[in-house]
Amino acid sequence: MRVLVIGSGAREHALVLAASHDPAVTALACAPGNAGTAAISEQLPVDATDPAAVTALAREWRADLVVIGPEAPLVNGVADAVRAAGIACFGPSAAAARIEGSKAFAKEVMRAAGVPTAHSEVVDNPAHIDAALDRFGPIWVVKDDGLAAGKGVVVTDDLAKARAYAVTLLDGGHRVVLESYLDGPEASLFCLVDGTTVRPLLPAQDFKRVGDGDTGPNTGGMGAYAPLPWAPDGLVDDIVARIVQPTVDELANRGTPFTGLLYAGLALTADGPHVVEFNCRFGDPETQAVLALLESPLATLLHATATGKLAEQPPLQWAPGAAVTVVLAAEGYPGRPRVDDVITGADAPGVLHAGTRRAEDGSVRSSGGRVLSVVGTGEDLEAARTNAYQLLRSVHLPGGHHRTDIALAAARGEVTVPGGDQAQAAANG
């Protein structure tokens, strides 16, 4: 099987690395890729958001399977174009990708499917924002309706800050989604979906804030871990039954079946799991942790998903233990990052590249905000944490910064789902 992965981040490096271990894979390419993917796959230039360009590349390279990593190409219809050319493609149609491309659309689908989620309102006129904000609080959740690379949300107890962000979005021509605040730890559940069949992967948790203790602005993600030792028994089955499968069924009923990776971002409240948001692709940085534990052949699974044969695949196999991902970010991130710094230690096993490039002198240089993901595995979260941070100490990026508390609370047993027995009962149906 000739596999072409589209994208250039650490998620794509993780996908390429996992695919390289699949015996069915005979050739592997990444477009446009980065300095890390270049070590294990062909690198091919392409505008990842251009349906015609990606399709032409897939034809020229004779791909048997195209795997689309980022959300923007999916929302732009790249998967539609590739499939129209007769090439198997892992990733939803543009119509189905609206589940991430428009939060308002996602809320509409969830209401129709009876999926538990936060109360919300869509505001598209600045004259209506004050009255709408008065209907929320004392913690305000203000979101950009469209794609925002994980940074399009403000959660605050400061009404003035919430209003200022909403006005900024509206002034920029973006619709605003206001949501009620959901209490409880957050979790990410990735599910392979072939239009009807749903196969969940391991649950994970990511860390959006830039600083330790969940301080500072939101980012695309500063770290993650999997699985969740604190999760109630039966949590994954409950999420699939009450959230993912009804959403998949609703999309199919609308004539826009979802094929690819459906990512449920959840708050585990005292009343059971509620959807914070849906994404239409593998999440970053959770993918780096989840795939580090996957023993089933990834490319085979993705091809079966893309061709409607997921139900024929055997149960997924996972390595025991845990995995922890820590993101090393450039100085200035999540604002304007400093770039073109020389990175040392980036070629070690367990270091996945995101914002990197290989310079003419052979050095690896930074080229983006989230530069590397460092992945550690171990028999439990504490061991995985130790291994991840030990590996990180061998990597040097001038001005780079990272969080020191990824998975710390979970390793200490300090993460709990509010409601105790009530939450357990909800998770068990």
Per-residue confidence in pLDDT tens, the chain, 429 aa: 999 999 999 999 999 999 999 999 999 999 999 999 999 999 999 999 999 999 999 999 999 999 999 999 999 999 999 999 999 999 999 999 999 998 889 989 999 999 999 888 888 888 889 888 988 878 888 988 777 655 578 888 899 999 999 999 998 889 888 988 888 999 999 999 999 999 999 999 999 999 999 999 989 999 999 999 999 999 999 999 999 999 999 999 999 999 999 999 999 998 899 999 999 999 999 999 999 999 999 999 999 999 999 999 999 999 999 999 999 999 999 999 999 999 999 999 999 999 999 999 999 999 999 999 999 999 999 999 999 999 999 999 999 999 999 999 999 999 999 875 444 444 444
At 249, list the tokens.
């069924």
DSSP string, 32-53: E--TTGGGTSEE----TT-HHH
Q: Please give the torsion angle defined by the CA atoms of residues 305, 187, 7 and 5, in that order, rounded to the nearest 10 degrees.
A: -30
Specify the residue for token string 């504490």: 382
CA 356, CA 341: separation in Å to the nearest integer? Answer: 10
Going by the DSSP 8-state scheme, the letter that residue 182 receives in this structure is P
The gap from C-alpha 174 to its chain's centroid, in whole angstroms, comes to 22
- Return the amino acid letter for 152: G
Going by the DSSP 8-state scheme, the letter that residue 119 receives in this structure is -
Please tell me the pTM assigned to this model: 0.90
* Angle, CA of 320, 326 and 330, to the nearest 5°: 160
Specify the residue for token string 């690819």: 260
The beta-strand segments (E) located in 195-310 are 198-200, 205-206, 209-211, 215-218, 223-226, 259-269, 272-279
CA 16, CA 30: separation in Å to the nearest integer? Answer: 7
Domain-wise residue ranges, the chain? 2-92, 120-179
CA 210, CA 193: separation in Å to the nearest integer? Answer: 32
At 140, list the tokens.
């305000």
Give the chain's length.
Answer: 429
The beta-strand segments (E) located in 205-248 are 205-206, 209-211, 215-218, 223-226
Q: Which fold has domain 120-179?
A: Dna Ligase; domain 1 (3.30.1490)
For residue 329, give the nearest of 269, 385, 290, 373 by alpha carbon: 373
Looking at domain 2-92, does it have CATH number 3.40.50.20? yes
**Using one digit for the tens of pLDDT, what is the confidence trace for 135-180?**
887 888 898 877 765 557 888 889 999 999 999 999 888 988 898 8
